[in-house]
Every structure is written in structure tokens, then in C-alpha cells.
């Protein structure tokens, strides 16, 4: 199965609190149908000092991205720069992703 969204893609959030934000896909979680998008859906967590082997983790606030559902993001086409639905076309037996807006290949 060919995935619509891959690691390294730029996506735009189309719903929720982060609507309109763009970022790079850092990780795809296929089982949960979720993606982790750089600088989107940031959660802040207070970190207490932890003794871990050699060093000690400094206390402070750590920020990390929570995964968001894949249906909440749209792929941003690298050719036309617009958030788009992804189509597929088959070339010499290999499926490639195409932009539904401008028709350019995305891979």
C-alpha cells in the first residue's frame, strides 16, 4: 500500500487549533493513522531532574510534538505550494503520488 503522506513531506493542518500551520512530517505512525509534524501541536511538559546513568537531566520545560490524525492534515504540493489531495498514477508498475491541483508528481 502506498501512503499518502511520508516522512519529510510538508503538510498543512486543515482543522483544529493548529489550523493553517505548516510543518515537516517528522514521523508517520501508520497503525494509529497519525503523523508527527514539526512545530505543530506542541505540548509543554515540566521536566524534573532525573538521574540517568552518567548525567543529570536539567529541570525545565520540555516541548514536544504530539501526533495528529492524518485526516487533519493535507499534503502541501512542492510544485504549486498549495495544500492538496493526493492522487496516484502508475508509471512502469510503480505508483507515484500526484498533486490533484496541478498534476505534478510528488515523489
Cα–Cα distance between 99 and 29 in angstroms, integer?
A: 22
Q: Which is nearer to Zn ion, 36 or 76 (CB)?
A: 76
- Closest contact distance (angstroms) between CB of 11 and Zn ion is 14
If we measure between CA atoms, which residue out of 62, 79, 61, 5 comes closest to residue 37? 5
Q: Which is nearer to Zn ion, 36 or 98 (CB)?
A: 98
Binding site for Zn ion (CB under 5 A): 77, 79-80, 99, 101-102
- Closest contact distance (angstroms) between CB of 10 and Zn ion is 12
Helix (H) or strand (E) holding 5: none
Q: Could you tell me if 24 and 9 are in contact, meaning their C-beta atoms sit under 8 angstroms apart? A: yes
- Closest contact distance (angstroms) between CB of 100 and Zn ion is 8
- Closest contact distance (angstroms) between CB of 103 and Zn ion is 7
Q: Which is nearer to Zn ion, 36 or 99 (CB)?
A: 99
Cα–Cα distance between 13 and 5 in angstroms, integer?
A: 13
Cα–Cα distance between 107 and 103 in angstroms, integer?
A: 12
Q: Which is nearer to Zn ion, 39 or 100 (CB)?
A: 100
Amino acid at each position: 500500500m502506498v501512503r499518502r503522506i511520508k516522512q519529510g513531506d510538508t503538510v498543512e493542518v486543515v482543522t483544529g487549533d493548529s489550523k493553517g500551520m505548516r510543518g515537516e512530517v517528522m514521523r508517520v505512525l501508520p497503525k494509529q493513522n497519525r503523523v508527527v509534524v514539526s512545530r505543530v501541536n506542541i505540548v509543554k511538559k515540566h521536566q524534573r531532574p532525573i538521574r540517568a546513568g552518567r548525567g543529570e537531566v536539567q529541570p525545565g520545560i520540555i516541548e514536544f510534538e504530539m501526533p495528529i490524525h492524518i485526516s487533519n492534515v493535507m499534503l502541501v504540493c512542492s510544485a504549486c505550494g498549495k495544500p492538496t489531495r493526493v492522487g496516484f498514477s502508475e508509471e512502469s508498475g510503480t505508483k507515484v503520488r500526484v498533486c490533484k491541483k496541478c498534476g505534478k508528481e510528488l515523489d
